[in-house]
Structure 1
Amino acid sequence: MPYDYAALEPYIDAETMRLHHDNHHATYVENLNEAVQAYPELQGLSVEAMLRDLNVVPEDVRIQVRNNGGGHLNHTMFWQIMAPNAGGEPTGTIADAINQTFGSFEQFKEQFNEAGRNQFGSGWVWLVRNPQGELQITSTLNQDNPIMEGLYPVMGNDVWEHAYYLNYQNRRGEYLENWWNVVNWPEIERRFADAG
């Protein structure tokens, strides 16, 4: 992680960050490495390449790669798109694109939070860029990543209970609202530019 476990407090507590990073994310990495160990041809592929075309992954480890590769990719992005002393509203080209697509940042935020609240069970809510270059909000189950459907994830929020339960219990909506205080807009701007 690019910052200390306590750096996102009071919005995300240190113990949640420690468990989330050192236990959950680390387990995804360990399980992914174990799944590809017997397949040298997979060891040369990026996680993105495997997830974009799961048919290249042998059937006996495909589900492991999907779940754990997705978990690794999702969380690697997640740590980067958050930062201490962050939040506020976006600026630059991402702000222009959000305003053009959703009408305003506030409308975007409301739609994003609603998609996160409405995600049944475990999963993620995303801002993605589609192949036509347009922004859209989507959600995925479990650790699926939008690249599996040809979409580029610009930003995403983890709505698995492990991401918020110690601090927010069953108040996912409160977690979603507070998360905006740690959003790292410069990193999201960079990802938006890379998606073009």
Structure 2
Amino acid sequence: EGELEGADRSGANGNYSHFGELKRRFTWNHAGTVLHDVYWEVMGGNGDVQQGPEIAKAIDESFGSFDAWKTDFKAASMSAKLSGWGILLFDQLYSERLINVTVDEHQYGAIWGGIPLVPCDVFEHAYYHKDGPGRPVYIDNFIANLHWGRINDRYKKFVRR
């Protein structure tokens, strides 16, 4: 951020400019920080969604059932490129419902006004050393270790019902 504050803005353009590159790096770093912070916050549980009654109800309303959410979430996580995320988010700005999205890198595919509730890091560094090319196994293990009480608290912080 320090370099960005003092950057020359006069040469900014859509092809290449030092200022533009600094702005792109800022959004990459900011999004990555947010997603990693939430990622670590929501892990460490036993995967029991009933420990989060409000989020469990919202998942049922948005996806029909927890199993349907899990299937869609896993598919969203599998669909990210080699560097990306599968994210359950709360669309606070537009629809006020839960949505699973596929985000490549940290920012491509993000939804404006979407609050990340469950971000699954599927960059290869997150799973390759332990599971090799076994991304599906990693995602299943991730879901099984979610702390739904913390996810529920995060959801309640942003929902306006």
Using the size of structure 1 for normalisation, the TM-score is 0.67
Partner Cα separation in structure 2 for residue 89 and residue 117 of structure 1 = 21
Indicate conservation of the 8 Å contact 2:47/2:143, yes or no: yes
Aligned counterpart, 2:130: 167
Cα separation, 1, equivalents of 2:142 and 2:81 = 19
Q: Distance in 1 between matches of 2:53 and 2:108?
A: 26
- Whether 1:89 aligns to 2:49 is yes
Following superposition of structure 1 onto structure 2, how do residues 133-144 of structure 1 map, counting pairs within 5 Å?
A: 133-144=96-107
Contiguous gaps of at least 5 residues in structure 2: 7-18
Identity of aligned residues (%): 26
Q: Structure 1 CA distance, aligned partners of 2:87 and 2:110? A: 11
Shift of 1:142: 0.4
Partner of 2:151: 188
Match of 2:121 among 158, 174, 179: 158
Aligned partner of 2:69 in structure 1 is 108
Residue 6 of structure 2 corresponds to residue 38 of structure 1: no
Post-superposition offset of 1:193? 0.9
- Which structure dedicates a bigger proportion of its chain to helix? 1
Give yes or no for contact 2:84–2:122 (8 Å, CA) kept in 1. Answer: yes
| CA deviations over 1:103-135 (Å, ceiling 9, x no partner) | 111111111001111222210011111122111
TM-score computed with the length of structure 2 as normaliser: 0.81
Deviation of the 1:141 alpha carbon: 0.9
User: Is the radius of gyration larger for structure 1 or structure 2?
Assistant: 2
Name the SS of the counterpart of 2:116 in structure 1. strand
- Give the RMSD, CA atoms, in angstroms: 2.0
